[in-house]
Structure 1
Amino acid sequence: MSTNSEVLPANMCTRLSRRLMPLLLAMLLFVLYIATQAVLKCQASNQPHGTLGIRRLRGIYGNEVIRKLGGISVNEVIEEKSVTTSSKRLKAFLVILIPTGPKYVWRRNTLRETWFKLADENVIQRFVIGMKSLDKNATDLLVEENKEHGDLVFLWDFSDSYGGLAAKVLKTFQWLDENVDFQYVLKTDDDTFVRTELLQKELKERDVQTKLFWGFFSGKSPVHKEGIYEEKDWFLCDTYLPYAFGGGYILSADLAHFIARNAHWLKPYKSEDVSMGAWLSPLDVFRVHDPRFNSEHESRGCMDDYLINHKVYDEGMKAQYKQVIETGRLCPKEVLKRRSYIYNWNVPPSQCCNRSWGII
């Protein structure tokens, strides 16, 4: 049986423990909070930041979420991951990407011998080839070609075909996004003559450095229902959405990054230029229609003011290069075969593009 002297200290100890327990628990929680904040701050300081200032929203994953469908800003795209510029192998002011077929080595050599030489060290020029379905002999030849010239991009998991050109452009932009720190990209064809030196000059002088989509636009092209351009999946409207012809168009880096990082959400249609117009249609984009881009599927001729001249082959390519080097002009003889137009952005697309003489 306990005495009163033994009971008193026990009661005091119990009361003291009850008073100190909440204080000790609070101190423990405070220490844990401080430690957690320190870890999060350290992680944030080491987190790579994207080149576009694209932000991530807590609790939302993936890069498919867009704020405004009527005219979204590229800076409002939420992306899952970003690539630091320091991790990229190449750097250029302008990147020129040319999808080409494996067998068209003569076209590639013609470009190497002509307008490729107009570029300076601020320009990267690359041919892009799908490699998946090629046999060993064709693969070996392309590898040897690249050893000699160093200007081929191999898409090892892609098979080249006309119907797959839009998907090829998506994969090409993904390669660009992952490997090059750049400001502008020109997508063009292997039968196009490019005044690279003039494009560089104008891009450097332009006030618009972001959201730029520069080319020769159409807004009332009918949807093809037969032939090689047959489009079975187009149901958006009676005509194609406004797009820049694929003989050559320029995008600023932010738009190219948007395409690359959202590729898994973008529908590839039969024509890559039509597809690009559809992909960029909901964005807040600065579209510049320029008649100096002779980039349609049928050439309008040759004028000295052209920056892009589509449907030029071998001897014509060499003749134009010789003219540029010797005189600074493009054409051995200026000629207009078809009428051109100035795009009217103030009317519906069906009324956009009225051709007339007097425009290059």
Structure 2
Amino acid sequence: EQSKYNDILILPVLDTYKTLTEKIKRSFVWLNDQYDYGLNFKYVLKCDDDSYVNLLMLPQEIIAIENSYLNSDLKYPFKPKSEQNNPYLSTSMQVNDKEIKGKYLSVYWGYFSGSAKIKTKGKWKENDWIASDRYTPYALGGGYILSKNLISYVAKNTEDLRSFNSEDVSVGFWLAPINNILRIHDIRFDTEWISRSCRNTHLIIHNLSQQEMRKIYNNYVQHKTLCSEEVDKRSYYIYNWSVPPSQCCKPINENINS
């Protein structure tokens, strides 16, 4: 891949789970530096190499988010009709100026967790977490999207940002106090530690084997759908931003296949 396309960023970091947060920091620094050299991006999708990304549908959804929120004249609390009728999304704006318009917002978009308890064992163990008895709300690491402004914020402050064992937890913690941010919880980001389901509406599906990924790809090439059969294995939730994070995530047990 690298010899043919030269499209892999190779960092001087040992490739282990414990170095993921350092890799994220260095990647964000590199991306921010490249902006000065002509790499003109608006968003960054971070995902794992065992995540399948629906590259045909995702750009369309980014445009839809921009049209509904960022390019509109809507003001706080920013609940367009498209969201009220959308079964996939729930959003939260963090702003000081209630008159702010969408074009000034940065986007943090994924499948959020707010009720996760602090891990005390295994590779996710956090020895030094003192902020609270739960993790700060964060988008799960199987795949999430950040606006360029958020990448730049992390890159410019990387030396002063506390690193935790899990990179997705770290990113959520770093962005917790940021003003003018739109958090989008989207159930089409199937990005938990194990896949919840196979749905043709999914934008990202995480924790797939090579065989599973090829099956999804081949099915899309042949039939223009991700799944040969839509199957729900685990519950999902719509994040409730109006309650404390510990109460955010009540499972919806519809259509679970036993």
Pick the aligned partner of 2:190 from 294, 297, 303. 294
Q: Between the two proteins, what is the percent identity of the paired residues?
A: 41
Paired residue total: 215
Q: After superposition, where does 1:1-360 map in structure 2 within 5 Å?
A: 145-156=1-12, 158-179=13-34, 180-207=39-66, 208=70, 210-284=105-179, 285-358=181-254
| Structure 2, unaligned runs of 5 or more | 71-102
Q: Which amino acid aligns with 2:187?
A: P
Deviation digits for residues 5-36 of structure 1 (CA, Å, limit 9, x no counterpart): xxxxxxxxxxxxxxxxxxxxxxxxxxxxxxxx
> What is the match of residue 115 of structure 1?
none
Shift of 1:174: 0.6
Q: Provide closer, same or farther for how the CA distance between residues 277 and 359 of structure 1 changes in structure 2, counting only shifts above 3 A.
A: farther
Distance 1:280 1:315 in 2: 36
SS of the equivalent of 2:52 reads: strand
Shift of 1:233: 0.9
Q: Provide closer, same or farther for how the CA distance between residues 334 and 231 of structure 1 changes in structure 2, counting only shifts above 3 A.
A: same
Q: Which amino acid aligns with 2:190?
A: N
For the pair shown, the structure with the greater C-alpha radius of gyration is 1
Native 8 Å contact 1:291 1:359 kept in 2: no
Native 8 Å contact 1:245 1:273 kept in 2: yes
Q: Which amino acid aligns with 2:10?
A: F
Shift of 1:248: 0.2
Shift of 1:148: 1.7
SS of the equivalent of 1:152 reads: coil
Q: Which amino acid aligns with 2:199?
A: M
The RMSD of aligned alpha carbons is 1.4
Shift of 1:332: 1.7
Distance 2:247 2:239 in 1: 9
Shift >6 Å, 4+ stretches: none
The structure whose residues are more often helix, as a share, is 1
Shift of 1:359: 8.0
Shift of 1:200: 0.8
| TM-score, scaled to structure 2 | 0.80
Distance 2:125 2:138 in 1: 17
Native 8 Å contact 1:222 1:238 kept in 2: yes
Native 8 Å contact 1:341 1:359 kept in 2: no
> What is the match of residue 80 of structure 2?
none
| TM-score, scaled to structure 1 | 0.58
Shift of 1:255: 0.8
SS of the equivalent of 2:57 reads: helix
Native 8 Å contact 1:299 1:310 kept in 2: yes
Q: Which has the higher contact order (CA 8 A, sep 6+)?
A: 2
| Structure 1, unaligned runs of 5 or more | 1-144
Q: Which amino acid aligns with 2:145?
A: I
Native 8 Å contact 2:232 2:255 kept in 1: no
